[in-house]
C-alpha cells in the first residue's frame, strides 16, 4: 500500500501544470519594435586578398605619431628610407613579417594628432628582418623575453614616395561612404599596421589629390 501511495504522489506531481517549469524557448520573446525604427545594417570589413596571387601588389597603412616621427621626417631621411621599428602587437607583427613585400604601397597615418590624418604615400623598401630594439636593454622597445636566435619582433624598411596634395583627416575619411569598410574606420581598430584594399588605396589617392 505504501508503495502505491508513493507512485500516485509522483504521478500527481508530474501531471500538475502549476509546478511545471516554463520552457526556455518561451522566455525568449522578441520585443516589438517602436514604430519607425530600423534595424541598423552591419557593415563587413573590406575583403583583404590573403594570400596574395603571384606578382600581386598589396597595400598597407602604418601609424606613426608625428611628434616622434612624421611623414616629413621620413621624406628627410637618407634616401627617404627608414626602418619601421617598435611594432609590439602580434597581429600587426604578423602582417609586417608574413605579408608585407618589397614594392607594396603604404599610407602613412599620423595618429595621436589633432586631427589624426593620412599624410603621405610610401612603399616597402625591404622585407621583414629582426627588430634590433627588442635586444637593447636601454631602449624603450626592449623585450627581455626576445632572444637573438628566436626574435619575437620584426621590422621592415619603408621609403617615402610623396606627400598627399592635402592630408586626409579621420573625420573626412569617416564621411566617405565608399570607405565604410576600411579597417582604419572600424570601431576599436587600433592596429599600427593594417591592410588596405586596392579600391580603398585608389579612393584615398583620389581624395588626396595624387595620381595613381
Instruction: Identify the pLDDT of residue 33.
Output: 52
Residue with cell 569617416: 174
pLDDT per residue, tens digit, the chain (212 aa), is 444 444 444 444 444 445 555 444 444 444 555 555 444 344 444 566 678 888 899 999 999 999 999 999 999 999 999 999 999 999 999 999 999 999 999 999 999 999 999 999 999 999 999 999 999 999 999 999 999 999 999 999 999 999 999 999 999 999 999 999 999 999 988 999 999 999 999 999 999 999 76
**pLDDT the model gives residue 47:** 60
Q: Which three cell numbers stand for residue 168?
A: 586626409
The phi, psi pair for 150, rounded to 5°, reads: -150, 70
Q: pLDDT tens digits, residue range 12-42?
A: 444 444 555 544 444 444 455 555 544 434 4
Cell matching residue 171 = 573625420
What is the pLDDT, as a whole number, of residue 52?
87
- Give the pLDDT score at 49: 62
| pLDDT value of residue 87 | 96
Output Rg (C-alpha) for the chain, integer angstroms. 28
User: pTM value?
Assistant: 0.77
- Go through the domains of the chain in sequence order and give each one's CATH number: 55-207 (3.10.590.10)
Nearest CA to 182 among 195, 191, 164, 168? 195
Sheet arrangement for strand 105-110: 81-84, 154-169, 117-130, 105-110, 59-64, 193-196
Amino acid at each position: 500500500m505504501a508503495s502505491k501511495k508513493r507512485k500516485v504522489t509522483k504521478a500527481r506531481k508530474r501531471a500538475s501544470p502549476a509546478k511545471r517549469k516554463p520552457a526556455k524557448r518561451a522566455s525568449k520573446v522578441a520585443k516589438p519594435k517602436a514604430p519607425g525604427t530600423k534595424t541598423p545594417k552591419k557593415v563587413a570589413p573590406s575583403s583583404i586578398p590573403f594570400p596574395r596571387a603571384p606578382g600581386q601588389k598589396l597595400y598597407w597603412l602604418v601609424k606613426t605619431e608625428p611628434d616622434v616621427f612624421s611623414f616629413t621626417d621620413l621624406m628627410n631621411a637618407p634616401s627617404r628610407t627608414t626602418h619601421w621599428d617598435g611594432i609590439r602587437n602580434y597581429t600587426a607583427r604578423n602582417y609586417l613579417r608574413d605579408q608585407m613585400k618589397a614594392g607594396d604601397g603604404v599610407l602613412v597615418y599620423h595618429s595621436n594628432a589633432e586631427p589624426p590624418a593620412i599624410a603621405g604615400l610610401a612603399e616597402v623598401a625591404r622585407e621583414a628582418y629582426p627588430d634590433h630594439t627588442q635586444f637593447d636593454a636601454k631602449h624603450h622597445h626592449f623585450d627581455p623575453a626576445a632572444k637573438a636566435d628566436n626574435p619575437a619582433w620584426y621590422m621592415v624598411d619603408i621609403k617615402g614616395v610623396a606627400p598627399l596634395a592635402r592630408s586626409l583627416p579621420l573625420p573626412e575619411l569617416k564621411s566617405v561612404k565608399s570607405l565604410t569598410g576600411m579597417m582604419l574606420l572600424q570601431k576599436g581598430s587600433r592596429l599600427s599596421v593594417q591592410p588596405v584594399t586596392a579600391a580603398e588605396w585608389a579612393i584615398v589617392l583620389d581624395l588626396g589629390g595624387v595620381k595613381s
